Structure 1
Amino acid sequence: MKTVLITGCSSGYGLETARRFHAEGWSVIATMRSPRHDILPNSKRLRLLALDVTDPDSVSAAIAESGPIDALVNNAGIGVVGAFEATPMSHIRKVFDTNTFGVMAMTQAVIPQFRARRSGVVVNVTSSVTLASMPLAAAYTASKTAITGFTGSLAHELAAFDIRVKLVEPGYAPTTRFAHNTTMRVEDLIPEAYAEFAAPIFAQFAAPSLVTTEADVAEAVWQAANDLSGQLHFPAGDDAVALAQAG
């Protein structure tokens, strides 16, 4: 039985991905900052662990408690929507701490065991903003684009040890309530000078022509984790696939 550790499982992509791997017969270690036992099935193949990817001690403790794993899914992330001019640098640093440095910390923590066994896969969940930049998301886009470069480089570096590294690029999923998992309100980040510019963008968010579902992302993560080819990019959702094809 294979084991996967997934970060950010309290809702959205992470929760659905945990359910998918469990349904496929894997042992699942679902992590989140404050574990909730009411959102996942009661099963001997499923463990919930407290994990804050921005806390080095929490990362070390979670990896030690997890034991050997076959796959790491770096899904934990936070969003920010707003004019870059109005986004405090303190908040931008928080976004990078989770979306960029948190991914790097988790990956660095599991590489030794993967390298020793000469097997394992790291799946990093980024965003379709890395395929086509969108306005009012500069800090978020930068944090996710950094992981695209990181993943591509690391894939070459770890191939010598038969460790696979993959990217899943979800499109826009309205049900994930993007940017609501931070302490900054969207309305605080749209100064009056940007109101006219932002209005049609938010209207498009409210009525998108193509959307991504949590199931789309879980499927892409599942495919990436089990892919034995050299494929690096796995767009998730019709909108992300369209962007990748147009790319």
Structure 2
Amino acid sequence: MNDASATRLAGVFQGREPLVVLAPHPDDESLACGALLARGFAGAGAHVICLTDGSASHPASRQWPPDRLAARRRAELSEAVSRLGGAKTDLTWLGLPDSRLHLADPMRVAEDLDRIVTGLGAAHVFVPAIEDHHADHKATFRIALILRQRRPDLTFHAYPVWSRWDEPDFAAMIAARDPVFVPPGRMAGRKRAAIHAHRTQMGRIVRDDPFGFVLPDAMIRRFLDEDEIFWRMPA
């Protein structure tokens, strides 16, 4: 890596380079990239593109059918972006079906992303790690590979969510990725507020699905108390 590339890479983690975060679901952006986004919003600019509508987290709920839940999760994401310092214009909602992103046409989604990113003038794209076990995260990664082929001028970074929580050998697994550890620093408060905006995922809204998804408290603490982790997106 030459000096200019190294300076540019450091700059994105300090809010000096415009960036885009691809989030498979509402809450991934806050958990893994909250402080990164807050610095971006306060600096050169940042944008969140949420690929799915988040409607599959409580499939047995009658009070919160998929359409109503998707609307609620979109509102939560908008609130999270606001708490990180962003505006309504800093969020794009694709609204693809939750848990079925692998059924979408990846070429078409990548084309849509290319158009959005081009309009934003972003220099960096952050993508969920292929090491994450969730099918929507893997599908987002594969779509990002297509986007990278279309846009070799952009720099692509990976961020872990589920693998950071449920992979017992996580540290050993990512060692070869040459990860960058970025402390939340003074953006820790904004990140905390953004995570807590996702109330449906904390068991605070949907009451009639005992087997619906709830973020484990220990998982939330890990993302709040520890550094954010990124690495260059592999091929």
Higher relative contact order, structure no. (Cα contacts within 8 Å, ≥ 6 residues apart): 2
The TM-score with structure 1 as length reference comes to 0.43
User: TM-score, structure 2 length as denominator?
Assistant: 0.45
Q: Which has the larger radius of gyration?
A: 1
